[in-house]
């Protein structure tokens, strides 16, 4: 029985310096070989032929309603739509969008079988990673707060293996057909686990049966079955690459009991399905688009920073999913409290975080119970319909007692730095509209941090809009989050904005370098990088643009995977 933790990955360059932990060509154990080009293929016999886009999807979405459990799948683009979850058996995954990889010669990946053998990954990593979603099951509704996911008899020409990446890239096997593989895993309820990797050993059609089971609070058992149809194309031999040794695993995270106050938010809103039909109609997300007032401290659950457009007023706010329905809050009214259950130590090879053994507070790329999970999105309906092109996200500087780093974790453990407070600023990257992503937010010392960010775009009317705001983190349980509130300021319109919700003048030291992730916060493992960045992003560090090219068929050297929870759903939903 496996208990999950999660992670994510991606790629980056800091001030023109490549922080590659091993990502040179493409290899399962640390490198993506080459993206497999789209292949036109007829649907399997008896299938409707509808394609399912696995990129960024909740590949396994489990919900509980009226005592019934539902196992479905949800595309990233369908999140928040009236019809969002589908029966997997009615859709076809592949053959396009995946990547050929090679099993690394490393003990951490022994569960994949013979080192060096080629395999095919369902998605090519980065924010394309799929997720396991149990946010539709409240912890109190099931005993032990878990849902069991088990693998049936797989029909296909080769092996199948599923695993997740935790924190800094340590793999957690879920189930598979390779000798010695587990056949079931325990998933925490009310959680989205990202950095989910599905690998296949040969070309051809596969049927992958899964069963979700839970013991309800009243002692009754509920279950749901689903069959995933996957078409794996012929794939070439991946390029070999060295794989750095993973860091040792830290002690398990502990739950921190905190008093319930009006200011403190509880984790996770439920997603509810309707009756079991090939297409499950779920009510569209009810989202308060107006800014909510009142100061809050958030130390658990999902939040995203992102822009809103109201006429000519462009304002960066925080989307708070720890309440139902979700609300958008003014950043000056929010302090994110990083508790000590997010504290770990810097592993060897992660010099971008400090010296080996140094403490670091890590908000991982993938969601963890009891830890706030910040991300960023450009999904507000006003942004999706109101701008041309991408949103430019700029890290303007940081104020705090230690180092701040935002980085992505790769599918075989490698990481890439996006923003680094010890580097020159501004550090910039472009985020496509309708994007939702997460990364690893790391802080080297306890205390109060104020991070200054700017977001800008061009409206459909051709006007340039920009806003600058400050995101405040109180790191460590000994740090009083109430000291992080301040008058705040920001243009909120088409000016540049002066914004800081701490000091009020927004004049912060400059630092940093670029882009997206959600990770685990316990254990870094830099084990190579299944590299192949599929989301287009241009980053600019100190005035120099660094491109992250989406959909490239070649392997991106020095890239990191951006895993899991990072999804790209539309229409303002997260």
Nearest C-alpha neighbor of 250 from the set 440, 544, 438, 525: 525
pTM exceeds 0.85, yes or no: no
58-62, 67-71, 193-197, 417-421: which has the minimum mean pLDDT? 193-197
Q: Which of 132, 153, 120 lies closest to 37, judged by CA?
A: 120
Same domain, yes or no: 222 and 315? no
C-alpha dihedral, 253 to 480 to 268 to 325, nearest 10°: 180
Q: For residues 561 and 125, what is the distance between their CA atoms, to the nearest angstrom?
A: 5
Q: Give yes or no for a contact between 41 and 205, defined as CB atoms under 8 angstroms apart.
A: no
Domain limits at 107?
48-232
Note whether residue 244 is domain-resident. no
**pLDDT on residue 80:** 53
CA quadruple 187, 190, 192, 198: dihedral sign:
positive
Residues 308-336: tens digit of each pLDDT? 999 999 999 999 988 878 899 999 999 99
Residues 327 and 225 in one domain: no
Residue 330 lies in a domain: yes
Q: Give mean pLDDT, residues 287-293.
A: 53
Nearest to 144 by CA among 272, 29, 1, 241: 1
Q: Would the pLDDT of 522 be above 80?
A: no
**15: in domain:** no
Q: Are residues 393 and 473 in the same domain?
A: yes
Based on the domain organization, do 215 and 345 belong to the same domain? Answer: no
| 325 in the same domain as 438 | yes
User: Is residue 384 domain-shared with residue 524, that is, in the same domain?
Assistant: yes
Query: Which of 255-269, 406-420, 422-436 is the least confident region?
Result: 255-269
Between 547 and 146, the higher pLDDT residue = 146
Q: Are residues 365 and 457 in the same domain?
A: yes
Same domain, 95 and 205: yes
Q: Are residues 227 and 300 in the same domain?
A: no
Quote the CA–CA distance of 360 and 120 in Å, as a whole number.
35
> pLDDT tens across 153-174, in order?
999 999 999 998 765 667 889 9
Helix segments in 322-376, DSSP class H: none
Assess if residue 430 is contained within a domain: yes
DSSP 3-state helix, strand, coil percentages of the chain (rounded to 5)?
A: 5, 40, 50
Q: What digits encode the pLDDT tens for the residues 374-392? A: 999 998 999 999 999 999 9
Asked if residues 440 and 48 have their Cβ atoms less than 8 Å apart, the reply is no
307 and 368 inside one domain: yes
Q: How far apart are CA 57 and CA 164, in angstroms?
A: 14
Provide φ and ψ at 331, rounded to 5°: -60, -30
Total domains in the fold of the chain:
2
């Amino acid at each position: 029985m496996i208990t999950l933790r999660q992670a994510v990955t991606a790629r980056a360059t800091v001030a023109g310096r490549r922080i590659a932990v091993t990502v040179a060509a493409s290899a399962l154990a640390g490198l993506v070989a080459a993206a497999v080009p789209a292949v036109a293929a007829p649907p399997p016999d008896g299938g409707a032929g509808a394609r399912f886009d696995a990129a960024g999807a909740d590949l396994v979405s489990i919900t509980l309603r009226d005592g019934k459990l539902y196992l479905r799948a949800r595309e990233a683009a369908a999140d928040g739509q009236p019809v969002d979850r589908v029966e997997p058996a009615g859709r076809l995954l592949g053959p396009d969008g995946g990547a050929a990889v090679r099993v690394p010669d490393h003990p951490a990946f022994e569960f994949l079988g013979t080192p060096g053998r080629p395999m095919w990954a369902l998605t090519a990593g980065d924010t394309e990673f799929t997720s396991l979603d149990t946010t539709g099951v409240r912890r109190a509704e099931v005993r032990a707060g878990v849902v069991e996911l088990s693998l049936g008899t797989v029909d296909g020409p080769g092996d199948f293996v599923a695993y997740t990446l935790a924190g800094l890239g340590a793999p957690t096997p879920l189930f598979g057909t390779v000798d010695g593989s587990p056949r079931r895993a325990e998933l925490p309820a009310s959680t989205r686990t990202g950095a989910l990797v599905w690998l296949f050993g040969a070309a051809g059609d596969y049927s992958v049966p899964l069963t979700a089971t839970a013991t309800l609070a009243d002692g009754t058992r509920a279950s749901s079955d689903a069959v995933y149809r996957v078409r794996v194309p012929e794939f070439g031999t991946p390029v070999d690459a060295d794989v750095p040794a993973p860091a040792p695993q830290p002690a398990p995270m502990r739950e921190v009991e905190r008093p319930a106050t009006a200011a403190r938010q509880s984790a996770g809103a439920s997603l509810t399905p309707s009756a079991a039909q090939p297409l499950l109609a779920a009510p569209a997300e009810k989202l308060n688009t107006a800014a909510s007032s009142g100061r809050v401290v958030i130390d658990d659950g999902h939040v995203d920073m992102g822009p809103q457009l109201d006429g000519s007023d462009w304002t960066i706010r925080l989307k708070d999913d720890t309440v139902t329905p979700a609300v958008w809050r003014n950043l000056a009214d929010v302090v994110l409290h990083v508790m000590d259950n997010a504290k770990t130590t810097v592993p060897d090879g992660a010099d971008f975080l400090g010296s080996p053994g140094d403490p670091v507070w890590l908000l991982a790329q993938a969601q963890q119970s009891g830890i706030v999970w910040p991300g960023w999105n450009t999904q507000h309906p006003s942004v999706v319909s109101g701008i041309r092109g991408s949103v430019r996200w700029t890290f303007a500087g940081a104020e705090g007692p230690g180092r701040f780093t935002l980085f992505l974790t790769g599918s075989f453990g490698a990481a890439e730095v996006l923003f680094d407070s010890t580097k020159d600023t501004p550090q910039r990257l472009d985020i496509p509209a309708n994007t939702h992503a997460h990364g690893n937010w790391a802080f080297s010392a306890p205390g109060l941090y104020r991070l200054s960010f700017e977001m800008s775009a061009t409206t459909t009317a051709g006007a340039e809009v920009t806003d600058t705001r400050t995101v405040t983190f109180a790191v460590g349980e000994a740090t009083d989050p109430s000291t992080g509130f301040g008058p705040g300021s920001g243009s909120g319109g088409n000016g540049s904005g002066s914004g800081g919700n701490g000091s009020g003048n927004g004049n912060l030291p400059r630092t940093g370098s670029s882009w997206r992730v959600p990770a685990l916060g316990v254990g870094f493992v830099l084990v190579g990088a299944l590299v192949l960045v599929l989301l287009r992003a241009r980053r600019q560090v100190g005035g120099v643009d660094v491109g992250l090219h989406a959909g490239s068929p070649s392997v991106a050297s020095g890239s990191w995977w951006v895993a899991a929870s990072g999804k790209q759903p539309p229409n303002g939903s997260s």
